Structures are given as structure tokens and as C-alpha cells.
């Protein structure tokens, strides 16, 4: 029997509140420190590991976090989600993004349709379509092959797929499986679409319109932009446009699209990268096999997430340590710092994933809660960030928990040796050095050159950023956010906070305004 209780009602949380964060200077010193680095880590899928030696926890705090996981029934709740229960209580929906990449729970049937079979069917349709494009069976009006694919979408239809494309672009080129250049149009700012359209060969481009409802303002506007551009060049939009949408949307069965691939209401936008939303563009760009490898990494990570023991479950443990930092240590932000240029937009994806899921002030029953929930997420790749905002991270008045990500090898395999080390070695040396600098700090008689230390971080690391590793990475954070939502007793799968702005924007466009709203509108001559 599952109980949904506020975090502050849990005895294990009350116990946790009495603990004092572990001193990293003590914990990471000497041989014991070296041992801790080896011990405080867990295998993830895709050849990755999660190392939490530089988090301010010790065996006792970990035991308390395990008690919290048990009392909050994290494992049972995940199982309920996998079995298709209505976990998204706000919108009264199942939450099935894990099912797009593997069958773990009971089979879920909705309106007579087996959902796993449905997702597999869409995947097969995409595979067939991408194969036909790559083989030259599907071509443009002149019989020329398509060279570019443009995703038109916003939010989850943009950030995840874009981050994943960038994450594998150089890898695919190095591995010889790069098929098509991908570009992305998202913003309603017309300069976004104009800029992308000016930079591609429109005649040899496929455009994927991605909107679950088929009514997203920005996406429909940008679709119109693209259709205009095609018509102006004497091209037929229906030979260039694809749709990724729900079966009930206006885009679903339209002759205006070359093909349509389906998702459904049980895939939230920010969780849609492993559905057709990511599948179509990534399969076209890199081939369906690469996308399947990505899915297999995610599925393997989802399996690890099912382990009830947090000390064997990297997703759950990361979530619990995050709760400790947020609610016991009182830290309101978290930085995502990938030491990998390929992950340059991964922090922007996690920013949506985390902040849109857990930036909530009411519990699952719609009651106000009185403890902080989802943190503010930001980040940039290292070493770039070191020459930017790390000053504040090291010496600012606020402590920011850090999530490093790093790989032993680069993706392209091309490197140069200078001052007896390669660039890749320098990159890795820097991430290691930063972890220690943040944890241990350094005394100095001049306080301006002193570092307080005790600034916690963890690192996810692996040999190389492959499709499997990327799938594991994505699923890890999806599952982490889910577990944190369970602990906080909030609904991580709706987003009512985006509605009011939409309503007011319509009023402004309809000139249905007065007072301050009218005055603001006049600033822009609306």
C-alpha cells in the first residue's frame, strides 16, 4: 500500500534534519580519503559511474538517507509508475516515458492498445522512414537525396533532442555513421527561423513539426514560416514536412505531411527525448541503430533505478543527496558542469527537466507545502566555466552543489600533445583538480587568496561519450528528478505554472487589456 506523505511528516526526515554535513577536508584527507574515492561510487549503465566521494555525507547520513528512501516508498512508487498507474495526478495521466525504451513493469493497456507495442511500432515506422531517406528511396521533388533535417519544436521538443544531437554529432562523424545535418527552430522570434532557413539548402531539407497537441503557438508559427519559404522556392511543403504529434492532434492524419510519427499524453514534453520526439530527428541524423543504442543505455539505467537499496541505485542516491543539500543544508541552486564540449547544451536540457518538473509549491493533493522543492539549475561546459563563473563557486558568499560529468577519451579521436600532455588529459586533469579545490580549499594568510573549501560535488564519469552512455546519462537525471518529486510529495509531471502567461499573452494580442498591462503593451506599440 503506497502512502503519499509530505516529506516533513516522515520520521526519517526529522532524523536527517538533526545531522551535520560531513567535513570534506577530514573525509578526503590521507589514505582514508583515497579509499573513500574508490568506495563512494556506483556503476551506472552505458559504462558510466557515479562518484559521490566529494558530497558532504558519511556512512551514517547515507544510512539515514536509505531510511528516508524506504519510508518515502521510493521504490514502490517507481514500480507503480512503471505499472502504468496514474502517477501524474494533476493531469490524471500515466507516466510512460520509461516504456519508450523498455518493458519493466506490467504491460500497460490504454483503450485497448498495448502501449509498449505502440511505442515500438512508432520506432519501427521511424526506422523504415529513415532507412528510406538514407537509401535514397525517399527524395525531394527533383529526385535529389535529403541532406538536412530541421526540428521545429519548443521546450521539450527542442531542448532534449538538440542537446542529444550535439552530444553525438562529433561521435557519429568519427564513427562514420553520420547521415544528415540537423538544425533546430524553436523561438517565436522570427529571426530564429529566418536565420536557420538562410543557412541551409531548403530544397534538400526535411522539416519535422513537433507538437503533442498540434496547437503550440511557437511551433505552428514557425511551421508557417517554413512552408512560406518552401512555397517561395517553388517547392511542395508536403514533400518536405513530417509531424511528430499525438494521434488525436490536427497534425496526425493530414496529407500535408510526408509522414507522421506518434507520441501520446503519457509522455511529458521534457521526458520525450526517447520517444518519437527525439527518435525521428536522431534516427535521421545518425541512423536508427544509433538511436536504438541510445535507448538501450537509457533502458539499462531505468533497470538500475528499480533497485530498492539506494546504495546500489545511482539515480535514487543522487536524488537523496540532492534532497539533503536542498532541505538539510539549505542550498537553493545546483550547477551542471560537463567537461565535454559535446554536452554544451545538456545543462539547458536538465534545466528544463528539473525546474519544470520540481519547481512546485503544492503537493500531489494540491495543498501548499512549507519546504523548498526543486533547485535552480544552471551550467556550462568545463573548462570554459572555469574562466567564467567558477570565481563565485570558489569564493562567493553562497555555496552551490556541483554535478561534474567527464570522460577519459574525446569523441573525435583527434588530439595534440603540448607540454607533454594531450588536450584530453588537460581536460581530465582540470575536472579532477576542481573537485579537490572545491572540497579542500586552501588556507592563505591573504584572505583574498584563501579558499574555504567544503563545497560539495559529485562526478559522473566514463571512458567515452557513446550513445549508450548518453542514454544512461539522460535516464539518470530523469529518474533522479522523479525520485526527488516522490520525496517532496509533489507531482513532477504537470506544469500548471506555464498557463497564466499564455492566457495574458492572448489578451495582449487581442487588445483585451487595461491598466498596467495596457501600459506595458504600449511600450512595444502592441
Give how many residues touch its own copies by CB under 8 A. 157
Which of the ranges 5-13, 55-63, 73-81, 366-374 carries the binding residues for its own copies, by CB under 8 A? 366-374
**Bond from prior residue into 383 cis (ω within 30 degrees of 0):** yes
For its own copies, the closer CB: 123 or 490: 490
Asked if 212 contacts 325 with a C-beta cutoff of 8 angstroms, the reply is no
For its own copies, the closer CB: 26 or 113: 26
DSSP lists the bridge partners of residue 418 as 421
Region for residue 503 given its phi and psi (left: phi exceeds 0; alpha: psi -120 to 50; beta: otherwise): alpha
Shortest separation between residue 394's beta carbon and its own copies, angstroms:
4
For its own copies, the closer CB: 171 or 257: 171
DSSP lists the bridge partners of residue 219 as none
Residue 256 in 3-state DSSP?
coil
For its own copies, the closer CB: 79 or 395: 395
Strands 41-43, 49-51: parallel, antiparallel or unpaired by DSSP? Answer: antiparallel
154 binds its own copies (CB under 8 A): yes
Kindly identify the residues of this chain, within the stretch 270-309, that bind its own copies according to CB under 8 A: 270
Kindly identify the residues of this chain, within the stretch 367-406, that bind its own copies according to CB under 8 A: 367-369, 371-374, 376-378, 380-384, 386-398, 400, 406
For its own copies, the closer CB: 117 or 414: 414
Report how far residue 22's alpha carbon sits from residue 170's, in angstroms, rounded to the nearest whole number.
40
Give the closest residue to 44 by CA, choosing from 474, 483, 482: 474
Give the closest residue to 478 by CA, choosing from 290, 268, 288: 268
Report how far residue 391's alpha carbon sits from residue 387's, in angstroms, rounded to the nearest whole number.
8
Q: Which cell is 461 given? A: 564519469
Kindly identify the residues of this chain, within the stretch 76-135, that bind its own copies according to CB under 8 A: 90
Which of the ranges 113-121, 274-282, 291-299, 499-507 carries the binding residues for its own copies, by CB under 8 A? 499-507
Give the residue ranges of DSSP H helices in 183-313.
190-198, 217-232, 276-286, 288-304
**Bond from prior residue into 193 cis (ω within 30 degrees of 0):** no
Choosing from 138, 188, 239, 311, the residue that interacts with its own copies (CB under 8 A) is: 188
Choosing from 8, 67, 333, 454, the residue that interacts with its own copies (CB under 8 A) is: 333
Shortest separation between residue 406's beta carbon and its own copies, angstroms:
7
Kindly identify the residues of this chain, within the stretch 207-266, that bind its own copies according to CB under 8 A: 217-218, 220-222, 224-225, 228
What mask of x and - would describe binding to its own copies in positions 35 to 64, judged by CB under 8 A? xxxx----------x-x-x-----------
Which of the ranges 13-21, 200-208, 313-321, 356-364 carries the binding residues for its own copies, by CB under 8 A? 356-364
Choosing from 267, 435, 470, 481, the residue that interacts with its own copies (CB under 8 A) is: 435
Which of the ranges 77-85, 97-105, 249-257, 510-518 carries the binding residues for its own copies, by CB under 8 A? 510-518
430 binds its own copies (CB under 8 A): yes
Choosing from 2, 86, 106, 194, the residue that interacts with its own copies (CB under 8 A) is: 194
CA–CA–CA angle 400, 165, 295 (5° rounding): 90
Catalytic residues: 356, 387, 502
Kindly identify the residues of this chain, within the stretch 10-29, that bind its own copies according to CB under 8 A: 28-29
Measured N-to-C along each axis, helices 190-198 and 217-232 cross at an angle, to the nearest 10 degrees, of 40
Strands 376-378, 148-152: parallel, antiparallel or unpaired by DSSP? Answer: unpaired
For its own copies, the closer CB: 102 or 338: 338
446 binds its own copies (CB under 8 A): yes
For its own copies, the closer CB: 170 or 205: 170
Q: Among all chains, which residue has been given the C-alpha cell 523504415? A: 128
Burial profile 451-471: b = 16 or more Cβ within 10 angstroms, e = fewer: eebbbbbbbbbbebbbbbbbb
Amino acid at each position: 500500500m503506497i502512502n503519499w506523505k509530505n516529506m516533513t511528516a516522515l520520521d526519517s526526515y526529522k532524523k536527517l534534519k538533526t545531522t551535520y554535513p560531513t567535513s570534506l577536508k577530514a573525509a578526503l584527507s590521507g589514505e582514508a580519503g583515497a579509499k573513500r574515492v574508490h568506495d563512494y561510487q556506483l556503476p551506472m549503465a552505458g559504462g558510466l559511474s557515479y562518484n559521490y566521494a566529494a558530497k558532504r555525507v558519511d556512512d551514517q547520513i547515507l544510512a539515514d538517507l536509505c531510511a528516508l528512501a524506504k519510508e518515502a516508498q521510493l521504490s514502490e512508487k517507481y514500480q507503480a509508475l512503471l505499472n502504468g498507474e496514474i502517477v501524474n495526478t494533476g493531469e490524471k495521466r500515466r507516466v510512460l516515458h520509461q516504456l519508450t525504451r523498455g518493458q519493466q513493469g506490467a504491460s500497460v493497456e490504454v483503450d485497448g492498445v498495448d502501449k509498449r507495442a505502440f511505442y515500438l511500432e512508432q520506432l519501427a515506422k521511424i526506422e523504415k522512414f529513415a532507412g528510406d531517406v538514407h537509401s535514397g528511396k525517399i527524395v525531394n521533388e527533383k529526385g535529389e537525396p535529403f541532406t538536412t533535417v530541421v526540428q521545429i519544436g519548443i521546450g521539450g521538443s527542442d531542448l532534449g533532442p538538440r542537446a542529444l544531437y550535439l552530444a553525438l554529432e562529433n561521435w557519429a562523424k568519427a564513427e562514420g555513421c553520420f547521415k544528415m545535418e540537423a538544425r533546430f527552430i524553436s523561438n517565436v522570434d522570427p529571426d530564429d527561423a529566418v536565420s536557420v532557413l538562410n543557412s541551409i539548402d531548403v530544397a534538400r531539407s526535411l522539416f519535422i513539426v513537433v507538437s503533442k497537441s498540434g496547437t503550440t503557438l511557437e511551433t505552428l508559427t514557425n511551421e508557417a514560416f517554413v512552408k512560406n519559404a518552401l512555397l517561395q522556392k517553388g517547392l511542395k511543403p508536403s514533400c518536405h514536412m513530417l509531424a511528430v504529434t499525438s494521434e488525436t492532434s490536427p497534425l496526425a492524419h493530414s496529407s500535408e505531411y510526408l509522414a507522421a510519427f506518434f507520441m501520446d499524453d503519457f509522455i511529458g514534453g521534457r521526458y520525450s527525448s526517447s520517444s518519437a520526439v527525439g527518435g525521428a530527428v536522431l534516427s535521421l541524423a545518425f541512423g536508427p541503430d544509433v538511436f536504438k543504442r541510445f535507448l538501450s543505455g537509457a533502458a539499462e539505467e531505468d533497470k538500475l533505478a528499480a533497485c530498492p537499496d539506494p546504495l546500489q541505485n545511482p539515480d535514487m542516491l543522487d536524488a537523496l543527496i540532492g534532497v539533503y543539500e536542498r532541505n538539510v543544508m539549505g542550498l537553493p541552486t545546483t550547477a551542471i558542469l560537463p567537461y565535454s564540449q559535446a554536452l554544451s547544451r545538456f545543462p539547458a536540457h536538465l534545466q528544463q527537466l528539473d525546474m519544470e518538473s520540481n519547481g512546485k509549491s503544492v503537493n500531489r493533493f494540491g495543498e501548499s507545502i512549507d519546504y523548498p522543492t526543486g533547485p535552480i539549475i544552471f551550467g556550462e561546459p568545463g573548462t570554459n566555466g572555469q574562466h567564467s563563473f567558477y570565481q563565485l563557486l570558489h569564493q562567493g558568499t553562497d555555496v552551490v552543489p556541483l554535478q561534474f560529468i567527464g570522460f577519459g577519451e574525446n569523441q573525435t579521436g583527434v588530439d595534440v600533445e603540448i607540454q607533454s600532455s594531450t588536450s584530453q588529459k588537460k581536460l581530465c586533469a582540470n575536472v579532477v583538480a576542481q573537485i579537490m579545490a572545491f572540497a579542500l580549499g586552501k588556507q592563505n594568510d591573504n584572505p583574498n587568496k584563501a579558499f574555504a573549501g567544503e563545497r560539495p560535488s559529485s562526478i559522473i564519469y566514463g571512458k567515452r561519450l557513446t550513445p549508450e552512455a548518453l542514454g544512461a546519462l539522460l535516464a539518470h537525471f530523469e529518474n533522479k528528478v522523479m525520485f526527488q518529486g516522490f520525496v517532496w510529495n509533489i507531482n513532477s509531471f504537470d506544469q500548471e505554472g506555464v498557463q497564466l502567461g499564455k492566457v495574458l499573452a492572448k489578451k495582449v494580442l487581442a487588445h483585451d487589456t487595461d491598466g498596467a498591462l495596457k501600459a506595458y503593451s504600449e511600450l512595444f506599440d502592441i
